[in-house]
Chain A
Amino acid sequence: MSAPALIELCGVSKRYGERVVLEEVSFALPRNATTVLVGPSGAGKSTVLRLLVGLARPDAGRILVDGEDVASLDRDGWMTLRKRFGMLFQEGALFNSMSVLDNVAFPLRHHTKLERAEREQRALAKLAAVGINEELAARTPDTLSGGQRKRVGLARALALDPEIVLFDEPTAGLDPVTSAAIDAMIVDVGARLKTTFLVITHDVHSCAAIAQHIGLLLEGKLLLFGGRDEILESTDPTVRQFFDRKAEGPIRVT
């Protein structure tokens, strides 16, 4: 028997009130590779991330991490599990009350026994890896550009050297050039760290640039999941409509 997948979703469903957001979604996240879940807005992409980190609970189905069902975790169990995750939030979710450096050192301060100087050194190294210099590190996040905030958010997500990094729409709200730079950064960091990345986005350019595996979510259902080329070259009309950005096709624009 092979080792269990790092993360596996088995028939996961989630509804908010009457609205079904995810319906029987199943996939195993490939280890040490970048997987991109794409789909139109409202397809349930964000919900997948929220379920993985325990910000929401599935109504049906199981989520396995290292083969263990997360439904059995209590509050402490979740806290332990979450230390293995890093997450880049859409707007960065940084604390404007502290400097960029302190933001990145924040997880180190609370989850390691490192001395202050050591924490700051580690945080500066993480910031350097995403292209943020010491001068920017001394500023507060609200004085940075959108692209810079995303970089800082990634540095913070990487602070504890997580096994899995989740990205919530990393290029949303950025201009095309900055988006390309963020994509390049994700590819670069992914290649160096050989960590498991899960990215959700509706940006097909970004998806093509960074993905090694792709899943296409549509109205709460996982339509396809496979290797990058297999999906991008698919002749399925739905897949084509989405990746070729056509208004006409099986996907209804609501």
Chain B
Amino acid sequence: MNAPGSALVVEIGRTAQFAWQVLQRSLRPRFASLILPAAHDLGVGSVLLVCIVCAFAGAMLAVQGHASLYTLGAPELLGTFVGYGGVREIFPLVAAGVVGARAGSAIAAEIATLKLGEQLDALTVMAIDPIAYLAVPRFIAAILVMPLVMVFGTLAGLGAAFLTASVQLQVDPGSYLARLYVSLQPFDLWAILIKGVVFGAIIAVVTAAEGFRAHGGTAGVGAAANRAVVRAVIMGSIVNLALSQALFGGWQ
């Protein structure tokens, strides 16, 4: 049991087991009325923050992209750069990071508080499955809402990048948009939606799992929230790499 890395394997196994329990129960959600409030918390509560952070990321992407492309004498290629780098990678990842940190820590802390206050046991004794009651509605809400949040974040990022390019960097708006338009395909929208579903699932499952595993008094709540965010972000990054490689890695 004490071999190096065995703890990691045990943890991955536990989270996978939890994910399986959530998935099974999501096929027939017993507490469908809780999905809408969870979606509201997750979506409405995060979308403004996501848009703000994506907008800043878009502006910086434009500045640095312009700096690189200017040396090549092709600043109008900035539209292409933002299209590929921003829409496919930066904006979705930033959006997922923001939601993971904000909603993820909230999910973990809330469930951990219930666990440590014996409310999870109380649910079980009242013949209500805590996973079905607490994790499943948040899971379904996350996979429904996350793609939309990512679309909004991407639009905000694109808007900020365009403004920065045309106003500050003096790139010709017409050629910028033309480059951007050519670089984007309908498939890119699908890619955002797919990433949204996957990130939503990861955030909900990983953070809820940490909440359910919380232990050790009030400090346990903070520790669970902390672990939840770290794990969701690490796992999100790994899966993002895998997804990007699969979708855009040139294997097609």
Q: Which of B114, B117, B125 contacts A82 (CB 8 A)?
A: B125
On whether the beta carbons of B118 and A89 are closer than 8 Å, the reply is: yes
| A contact patch SS | mixed
On whether the beta carbons of A90 and B125 are closer than 8 Å, the reply is: no
Q: Does B188 contact A (CB under 8 A)?
A: no
The smallest beta-carbon distance between B45 and chain A, in angstroms, is 16
Q: Does A222 contact B (CB under 8 A)?
A: no
On whether the beta carbons of A93 and B121 are closer than 8 Å, the reply is: yes
Residues of A within 8 A of B122 (CB): 87, 89, 93-94
On whether the beta carbons of A110 and B119 are closer than 8 Å, the reply is: no
Q: List residues of B (84-136) whose CB comes within 8 Å of A's CBs.
A: 114, 117-119, 121-122, 124-129
On whether the beta carbons of B118 and A93 are closer than 8 Å, the reply is: yes
Residues of B within 8 A of A177 (CB): none
Question: How many A residues touch the partner, as a band?
Answer: 20 to 34
Q: Does A55 contact B (CB under 8 A)?
A: yes
On whether the beta carbons of B126 and A55 are closer than 8 Å, the reply is: no
On whether the beta carbons of B121 and A110 are closer than 8 Å, the reply is: no
On whether the beta carbons of B126 and A82 are closer than 8 Å, the reply is: yes
Given A93-B117, A93-B119, A95-B119, A85-B128 contact (CB < 8 Å): no
B-contact bits for A70-93, CB 8 A (1 contact / 0 none): 000001001110110101011101
Chain A to chain B contacts (Cβ below 8 Å), 28 pairs: A53-B124, A53-B125, A55-B121, A55-B125, A75-B129, A78-B127, A79-B127, A79-B129, A82-B124, A82-B125, A82-B126, A82-B127, A87-B125, A89-B122, A90-B118, A91-B117, A91-B118, A93-B117, A93-B118, A93-B122, A94-B122, A95-B114, A95-B119, A106-B126, A107-B126, A107-B127, A110-B127, A110-B128
